[in-house]
Structure 1
Amino acid sequence: MSRPEPVLSPTPKSAWRFASDAQADTNSLPGAFASVQVPGAGASWLRRFLAFVGPGYMVSVGYMDPGNWATDLQGGAQFGYTLLTVILLSNFMAIILQSLAARLGIATGRDLAQACRDHFPPAVNIVLWLACELAIIACDLAEVIGTAVALHLLFDIPLLAGAIISALDAFLALYLMNRGFRYLEAFVIGLLATVALCFAVEVVAAQPPVAAILKGFLPSTEIMTNSQMLYIAIGIIGATVMPHNLYLHSSIVQTRAFERTSSGRREAIRWATWDSTIALMLALFINAAILIVAAAAFHTSGHQDIAEIEDAYRLLSPLLGLGVASTLFAVALLAAGTNSTVTGTLAGQIIMEGFLRLTIPHWARRLLTRGLAIIPVVAVTALYGNRGVGELLLLSQVVLSMQLPFAVIPLLMFVTDRGKMGEFVISRRMTVLAWAVAIIILLLNGKLLFDAIA
């Protein structure tokens, strides 16, 4: 029995004015576009929702990659549970921004990179593209370091060799993409479940005080007055709200073969928003768990100076009294680093094709970005040893935070413009909330730059 073709009626011109007719015919991720079937209207709501489950978890990978570990570990070890409120705030920002990215992709049929190319002049697009590439390299840098450190901890492989081995994951990502988008999503979700399970065991073993955790989720003025705490807080936001994830999400939600009609798009937006919200709550649990374990194990035991993943691995089992704790920590780190390579590959492809209409083989794209990330790891390791890698990892998250406005502001410009979004333009209340998130990000980045210059 042949598979029914999805309904792909074009977006009304009244609702989308970025692209010419020729441009509008170019689908994002053409090899996977509308490749995942959606049950018909007679199916149960659960079956229809499950058909949309997947993109949110792929996006959530970027919110719990190895870059988060450095900031969360350092924040918990130095300041206890205080920065839990920053993790909560950044996760709230992520839920809002990712829902808007999904809305843009579903409502218009254009990913964020394509929308920027259609709307802005070439000079602006070049700047935005370069900012995106820098963000991807910074994210890839965290993945290289995380994978190399995990291989070193589990198998005693030197960091330099581990960094080089990490380049081979380009072929893993390529293999999964060739199998089909659902295989890719299943692989990602499986590794996410592994990370969540590992840290669930760690939290139970740490036995943190519930009252202190609840207090940590409340806002504290100390974060803004303590420059070191603010630096780590901005690093947490940079590691949590990932700029390239906005480009990624606006594209991969289009892999679903929903009806390209007004009602079909509205339903797809609803299910995609639920998918990403639930997935990002999992990211909130994992990020909070990392900080909670660090606070319970290190902050209260006189190890506030813990800043390296390797040091945390070495001390976890003795301090928690659980022999397998360190191994679980390293396994989760390896799973997180491996998972992040998949989304990094897709995001790089989407951004390059969207901004430049330049298509290169996936393996070449992956090896190029991974090579650019390996170079600073090799240089820092050679010059400063293993200790310098931790500082490089934290710096990469600050770089990511500095790139956020280049993705957030264009996204908000588009989803608040009725002339471009038509009936799917966001409400006035959501507009105020979204711009408030953008302003907070800009202010935090400005404070970081001021402190750095001073």
Structure 2
Amino acid sequence: MNHAEQRSLAVLDAKMTATTRKRPKVPSAIFMLGPAFVAAIAYVDPGNVAANLTSGAKYGYLLVWVLVAANIMAMLIQYQSAKLGVVTGKSLPELLGERFGTAGRRAYWLQAELVAMATDLAEVVGGAIALNLLFHVPLPVAGLIVGLVSMAMLMVQNRRGQRTFESLIIFLLAIITIGFLAGLVLSPPDPAGVAGGLLPRFDGSDSVLLAASMLGATVMPHAIYLHSALARDRHTTARDTPELLHATVKATRWDVVAALLLAGAVNIGMLLLAASTLGGVEGTDSIEGAHAAIVATLGPVIGVVFAVGLLASGLASTSVGCYAGATIMGGLLKIKLPLLTRRVVSLIPALALLTFGVDATWALVISQVVLSFGIPFALIPLLRLTSNKALMGIHRDGVPLRIAALVSVALVVALNAVLLYLTLTGS
């Protein structure tokens, strides 16, 4: 080979190397999973426990259909949120902050912050109840312990990064799954009852209130805001090439389906356990009473496993909720409040509630109703943004997805309107 040929080969090799550098290798889909499992923690928090156990104990299998419909909606919504973050490189709060004026941003932040506070209250209270059940720790002290442990978890996120935080959350999610589904092995549900519960219907205003709380606990506004940021931060190179972006959006879809199927199974399993075990038992309108009934019916081992699952739920969800609150504030107000500072401030309402002896389970259910009213404020802007061709390009929502999203929004608004009417009229 002469000198000219060698030089030509060197030039060709340089061009091929440059092309390779410009087109990063698409990673395996399994290594792109994770953000949805963090967001899914919001769907198995202590508020879910209170709403689902109360529903199953009081109405049996009547409201199974609510959880099934809500979980399908959750898959759709969380996929849209994650896709928005991946495609635009911005979170939902950031995009809304760019579109609102100063007054609009502040007003929108206020309602989102109230939702985040209601979420955090439910999560700290739930973790405190679990510590009380396991170790008889007084509720105010237990709430403080939950807050301190969640601070430690947030420090992991700050110092070790999102991937390590995701691994920690997934580990806790596994404990939650075992804790809440173990009882079904000893007390399986009635197949006919489950089938009947798939027929949409109510039984008075109390069942509508519970349905709204279950919906608020399953389709979580703060998880909608957070997931876009989680996906954005995890997939920072997704927009380097069209091929990589397409692969990332596809992997995100599978991430959401896997995470929400698991969360949905836990939610439905809790209701089925209550329906098969707690129906007609006195005192099951509280988590403590439900736990006592589970111990009496299924034994102390299942009772301990359930309480450990509740503790894992409280610790994981309050950390994720604090993360979501920081995302909301940062995107809408451009204020980067340190996570640990926010953890201290947001802990105060929950500790006050526990100190003054407000019924913990009642507070959990009501907090989920507050979340339910916050859902449209997150859903409607998300739907508008993911349907925007100028913003999303070829990844804009297709017609079937837009129709499904519109139906979801309509169902949420209608359920909340019925709830408000029945509450005001005392029906």
TM superposition score normalised by structure 1: 0.85
Check conservation: 1:73, 1:291, Cα contact below 8 A.
Answer: yes
2:348 counterpart of 1:363: no
- Of 323, 342, 345, the residue aligned with 1:346 is 323
Closer/same/farther in 2, CA of residues 413 and 8 from structure 1, 3 Å limit: farther
Give how far 1:336 is off.
0.5
Does residue 429 in structure 1 map to residue 416 in structure 2? Answer: no
Is 1:186 paired with 2:167? yes
The structure 1 residue matched to 2:224, chosen from 238, 242, 246, is: 246
Quickly say closer, same or farther: Cα 1:8–1:276, change in 2 above 3 A: farther
Alignment pair present for 1:232 and 2:210: yes
Q: Give me the whole-angstrom Cα distance separating, in 2, the residues matched to 1:155 and 1:88.
A: 34
Alpha carbons 1:65, 1:143 under 8 Å: kept: yes
Higher mean C-alpha deviation, range 119-128 or range 71-80:
119-128
> How many angstroms apart in 2 are the aligned matches of 1:97 and 1:8?
35
Hey, what does 2:8 align to over in structure 1?
A: none
Distance in 2, matches of 1:169 and 1:407, equals: 29
What CA distance in whole angstroms lies between the structure 1 residues aligned with 2:45 and 2:246?
Answer: 31
The unaligned stretches of length 5 or more in structure 2 are 1-19
**Does residue 1:312 correspond to 2:290, yes or no?**
yes
CA contact (8 A) 2:283 2:290 kept: no
Summarize deviations over 1:326-359 as a string: whole Å, max 9, x none.
1111000001001112211211121111011111
Per-residue CA deviations over 1:402-422 (Å, capped at 9, x if unaligned) read: 111111111111111212222
Provide the C-alpha distance between the structure 2 equivalents of 1:92 and 1:366, rounded to a whole number of angstroms.
31
> Following the alignment from structure 1 to structure 2, what is the Cα–Cα distance between the partners of residues 341 and 74?
22
Equivalent residues of 1:245, 1:347 under 8 A apart: yes
Partners of 2:344 and 2:21 in 1: CA distance? 34
Cα distance change on mapping 1:306 and 1:116 into 2, 3 Å? same
User: How many angstroms does 1:75 deviate by?
Assistant: 0.3
Q: Which residue identity lines up with residue 40 of structure 1 in the other structure?
A: K
Aligned partner of 2:255 among 248, 261, 275: 275
Equivalent-residue separation in structure 1 for 2:350 and 2:110 (angstroms): 15
More helix as a share of residues? 2
Residue 416 of structure 2 corresponds to which residue in structure 1? 445
Alignment of 1:33-72 (within 5 A): 40-41=25-26, 48-72=28-52
* 1:101 matched residue in structure 2: 81
**One of 173, 176, 194 as aligned partner of 2:156:** 176
Residues 259 and 144 of structure 1, relative CA distance in 2, 3 Å threshold:
closer
- Give the superposition deviation at 1:288: 0.9
Aligned match of 2:9: none
Structure 1: gaps (5+ residues): 1-6, 10-37
1:87-236 matches, cutoff 5 A: 87-177=67-157, 178-216=159-197, 218-221=198-201, 223=202, 226-236=204-214
Contact (CA 8 Å) 2:85, 2:229: kept in 1 or not?
yes
**Is the counterpart of residue 336 in structure 1 residue 322 in structure 2?**
no
Q: Structure 2 matches for 1:378-397, cutoff 5 A?
A: 378-379=355-356, 381=357, 384=358, 388-397=359-368
Aligned pairs, how many?
A: 403
The one-letter code sitting in structure 1 at the alignment partner of 2:182 is V
Question: Residue 116 of structure 2 aligns to which amino acid in structure 1?
Answer: I
Aligned-partner SS, 2:182 = helix
Higher deviation after alignment, 168-177 or 350-359:
168-177
Q: How far did 1:8 drift?
A: 12
- Give the fraction of aligned pairs with identical amino acids, expressed as a percent: 34
Deviation digits for residues 272-291 of structure 1, max 9, x if unmatched? Answer: 11101110010111111111
Distance of 2:181 and 2:271 partners within structure 1: 13
1:32 aligned partner:
none
Cα offset, 1:124, TM superposition: 1.9
Runs of 4+ in 1 over 3 A off after TM superposition: none
Cα deviations by residue, 1:25-63 (Å, 9 ceiling, x for unpaired): xxxxxxxxxxxxx9924x6xxxx1122111111010000
Q: Structure 2 vs 1, CA of residues 237 and 422 (structure 1 numbering), >3 Å: closer, same or farther?
A: same
What is the CA distance between 1:257 and its match in structure 2? 4.1
Distance 2:150 2:193 in 1: 42
For residue 388 of structure 2, the aligned residue among 404, 417, 420 is: 417
Amino acid at match of 1:256: H
Q: Given the superposition, is the C-alpha separation of residues 304 and 99 from structure 1 closer, same or farther in structure 2, using an over 3 Å criterion? A: farther
Q: Give the secondary structure class of the aligned counterpart of 1:433.
A: helix
Amino acid at match of 1:111: S
AA aligned opposite 1:187 = L
SS in 2 for 1:324: helix
Q: CA offsets, 1:154-189, max 9 Å, x none?
A: 001111211222221342123211112111111111
Q: Write the letter of the residue equivalent to 1:209.
A: D
State the distance in 1 between where 2:393 and 2:200 align. 41
Amino acid at match of 2:210: I
Query: CA 1:343 to 1:332, structure 2 compared with 1: closer, same or farther past 3 Å?
Result: same
CA apart distance, 1:114: 0.4
TM-score where L is the length of structure 2: 0.90
Residues 179 and 309 of structure 2 are in contact (CA less than 8 Å); yes or no, is this contact kept in structure 1? yes
8 Å Cα contact 1:85-1:219 kept in structure 2: yes
Aligned partner letter, 1:210: P
